[in-house]
Amino acid sequence: MSLPATGSRGARPSDGPTDAVLTVDHLDVVYRAIPQVHAVKDVSLTLRRGEILGLAGESGCGKTTLAYAVNRLHEPPAEVTGGTVTFHDRDGTDIDLLALGDEPLRRFRWDKLSMVFQGAMNALNPVLSVRAQLDDVLRTHRPRMTRADRHARCTEVLELVGVDPARMNGFPHQFSGGMRQRVMIAMALLLDPQVMIMDEPTTALDVLVQRGILHEILRLRHELGFAVIFITHDLPLLLELSDRIAVMLRGEVVEYAAADELYARPSHPYTRQLLGSFPSLTGERGGFLRTGDGAATAEPTGSGESAASPGSTVAGATPDAVGTEAGAPGAQLTKEQP
């Protein structure tokens, strides 16, 4: 289905105070394949200190490619062909991430910007204990730390994410999916980064575990003050969790606004379709699409869009209700500012 493009490429909302920690400016990423794929097109984003920036879009729209490019994790045939990525350190230094050499880049990763990868439950080494994997990060980036200090830090971050430090000697297969996800978040927190990129961190978890993980993210953001780029295809979840949201479609950011603004006044047809794609809890059995008057319909129009306005919801619905209707684990979460 072809959607009309609206707005200007690379457009960004007003960023308000100059408290940015990460700036992506007109970034382009291309896969040098046959045929060539332009996976990220002229993307511009600004991440403020202590905020959660949601990145939404369907599978294959370029979300993870963008995250990998920001963290310089992309490999051939992926290539950054244009734009800049600038990290604004808390000491006042601006770091051009695309210009960093191998050793400065190694020191930068995890220390100032960490990442919880998509499928993070399977990212742990199955033959190493949790203690060994956490300890390895500290031995690599904090070589002067004593063994006792490393153990104390590992204990501290596990307690932060709700994992019993007594289980530190356990192996990944001895942990549930939710516990493994918490261990990955603990690993990302080890070096007290200023930015954390979370790529689908609640995928494959049941809804109650998802809700617990999301509450932990909000609590840790509030207590520690780091900023988060939260990547998911679940727009109702982002409405509850994020301060601002960027919506991607075919490699472009087609809408970029505060979460409340995006919910109340979505400007792009694709955003309205995302908002209208989650089922209502009211209406006739078999009705899947929300309509403005509270009724539901399962019949799409000939163009592939619902007969109802894609951006409409159950009458009287609020942003909090969206997450509840969609079954989103983040429903009713309270966004706390650091």
Compute the distance between CA of residue 279 and CA of residue 268 in angstroms, rounded to an integer: 20
Pair (240, 311) in one structural domain:
no
Beta-bridge partners for 27: 43
Same domain flag for 218 and 96: yes
- In angstroms, the CA 90 to CA 333 distance is 29
Of 137, 170, 192, the last residue of a domain is 192
| Nearest by Cα to 198 from 80, 73, 63 | 63
pLDDT band at 262 (very low <50, low <70, confident <90, very high): very high
Taking 90 as the threshold, does the pLDDT of residue 30 lie above it? Answer: yes
Which pLDDT tens digit goes with each residue over 113-130? 999 987 766 788 999 999
Same domain for 205 and 240, yes or no, is yes
The tens digit of pLDDT for each residue in 147-191 reads 999 999 999 999 988 899 999 999 999 998 888 988 999 999 999
Model-level pTM? Answer: 0.78
Do residues 215 and 69 both lie within one domain?
yes
Any domain includes 338: no
Q: What is the dihedral of CA 181, 161, 72, 67, to 10 degrees?
A: 70
Contact 197, 52 (CB under 8 A): no
Domain boundary residue among 215, 248, 266?
266
User: What is the tally of structural domains in the chain?
Assistant: 3
CATH number of the domain that residue 70 is part of: 3.40.50.300
| Residue 334 within a domain | no
Domain that holds residue 227: 17-112+193-266
Asked whether residue 8 is assigned to any structural domain, the reply reads no
Let me know whether 31 and 80 are in one domain.
Answer: yes
Which of 148, 176, 192 is at the close of a domain?
A: 192
Contact by Cβ (8 Å): 152, 135: no
Does the residue 146 lie in any domain?
yes
Asked whether residue 56 falls in the same domain as residue 182, the answer is no
Q: Assess if residue 148 is contained within a domain.
A: yes
On whether both 102 and 74 belong to a single domain, the answer is yes
Mean pLDDT lowest among 6-10, 49-53, 89-93, 210-214: 6-10
Q: Is residue 336 part of a domain?
A: no
> Is the residue at 143 inside a domain?
yes
β partners of residue 20? 48
